[in-house]
Chain A
Amino acid sequence: MKRRQFISKTALSSLAVLAGTNVVFGSNMPEGYEPLLNAENDPFKMFGLDNDMTVLNKRPWNIEAKAHLLNDRITPSKYMFIRNNGLIPEKIDADKWVLTIDGESAKTTKTYTLKDLKTKFKQHTYQLTLECGGNGRSEYNPPAKGNQWTIGAVQCAEWTGVRLKDLLADVGVKGDAVYVAYHSADMHLSRDPKKEAISRGVPVAKAMEDEALIAFKMNGEDIPLAHGYPLRMVNGGWPASASGKWLKRISIRNIVHDGKKMGGHAYRMPKHPVAPGTKVKEEDMAIIESMPVKSLITYPKSGATLKEGQTLKINGHAWAGDLQVSKMQVSIDFGATWQTCKLEKPVNRLAWQHFSADIKFPKKGYYEIWAKATDSKGKSQPMLVPGWNPKGYLNNACHRIAVKIK
């Protein structure tokens, strides 16, 4: 391409971004919402976040927590990670919001207002763990592409809504149904209205679980804008990208859903383990389903200094995707010996579990407390970063905090 053409194209795209959508795509804007333009807005005010949250990316918004911020049993939104693939819709009119259910394997196509959902179906409330598939990506080497999440892209909130399976039954599901996909109101970063930012979902069996919700409330209130107001599909225990925000449409597919970020390397792992840095062909990648076993020490904050002889009470959460956590251990000698923690049962399936322990230290000095969870099938968290993969997913290596005894 000639330089002059290139420049004019660059300038034009920049204008579209800076000056507003009315310049380029204005006439194509879908009704009922506008994407949020102002990247300069203060995310802490805009999303009501605690000042200790870490902003990884301003456009799109990607923000994570720190371990000690996640100490609550139910995560409040001020400590909740935000992972966006596109631009957050703005000026949402919940009264006009319509959810459509369609697809090759839907016996009928139906639409529902929020009022329909709230009045025609039984409501259910579950605590559901949502963790970004790329949580922990920053530790992979060679570095994997994408937002460099450390440990804070996980949360467990209380979601209220209707069961996805009740909605699917209302529409009718044909025998050949394979996947239940979501379509959302967020906009692709390029602002091209023909492109979706993300459109994923889950296989029918996962969608039919009791805990699979179409939620309109989070922690007893309207879902915050950054987390999908006014409607979100919530599939706990799987990469949080399987839980579509700003939900507009559910498609019952007769194939594995082929929406945005279902193919290629997105949210996929190599079918067979690969050496670090290996190029993996797309056909050799498989969709991530359940997240692996993992845990966080949420109290105390790393860096605690104690007096000799003082007992340290620690606590945290552990989760295991579709499974339960059956054992929780901590070590203060880099894994040479392990101490078993008190571990609570989950309040419901797919909710994280709380653990606690009293730790004594033999002498003065620098210590690290390492936490290791084991799931109901006997798999534990590795102490080292697990198998390298092209996009840096599923790092469930043990969390650790530093402690000094004076």
Chain B
Amino acid sequence: MKKYTKIIYLFLLLFASIGFYSCDSDKKKDATETKKVSDDDKIVDGIHVRTGLKDGKGVLVVAHTCTVCHSADIVMMNRMNEERWNETIKWMQKTQGLWDLGENQKIIVDYLTTNYPMPKATRRANLKNINWYDLK
């Protein structure tokens, strides 16, 4: 990475973090501000562009917290209830260097269980997304 790119990233992040910080007093206002200062938090067609997360209450907290060490893919792929997400957070704190999330933990878990709910139970699902073609 070139030096000036690093500096740009530093500034972007600094702005994003300041925006994030002020967020708690007025979440709505902050979301708008953050969008303004940073391409990092652009939301297009209901998707947080940088991470691919669905837009929803708490999406920026999730985007800023859960993609520090890993991508958002692993978050979106997993479907858990409140109890198991809380356990997963505890496990990341114990073994992966995750910090104390404070009141953000509830925001994050609520966002995940609302936007990425558990699927209906099945022992073997029907085949999906079949692209039919003529076999020659």
Contact = CB atoms under 8 A, between A and B. Distances in A.
A57 B74 CA distance: 6
B121 A404 contact: no
Contact of A383 (B99, B104, B124, B134): B124
A302 interface: yes
A147 interface: yes
Interface residues of A, number: 54
A385 B102 contact: no
B13 A303 contact: no
B41 to A, nearest CB: 13
Nearest to B6: A19
B73 A189 contact: no
Nearest to B127: A402
B90 interface: no
- Chain B, interface residues (CB within 8 Å), range: 35 or more
Contacts of A1: 99-100, 102
A305 interface: yes
B39 interface: no
A11 B17 contact: yes
Which of A3, A13, A145 counts the most chain B CB atoms within 10 A? A145
A312 B97 contact: no
B55 to A, nearest CB: 20
Contacts of A32: none
Contact of A303 (B79, B118, B130): B130
A368 B127 CA distance: 9
A10 B64 contact: yes
B33 to A, nearest CB: 15
Nearest to B131: A303
A55 B122 CA distance: 25
Contact of A57 (B13, B77, B79): B77
Interface string A1-32: 10110110111011101111000000000000
A11 B13 CA distance: 7
B130 A19 contact: no
A37 interface: yes
Interface of A: 1, 3-4, 6-7, 9-11, 13-15, 17-20, 37-39, 55-60, 62, 139, 141-143, 145-148, 189-190, 192, 195, 300-306, 312, 368, 383-385, 397, 400-402, 404
29 contacts: A1-B102, A6-B101, A6-B104, A10-B65, A18-B9, A18-B10, A18-B13, A19-B9, A19-B10, A19-B13, A20-B1, A37-B1, A55-B73, A56-B73, A59-B67, A60-B70, A141-B121, A142-B79, A143-B119, A147-B74, A148-B77, A189-B69, A192-B97, A302-B127, A303-B131, A305-B132, A305-B135, A385-B124, A401-B127
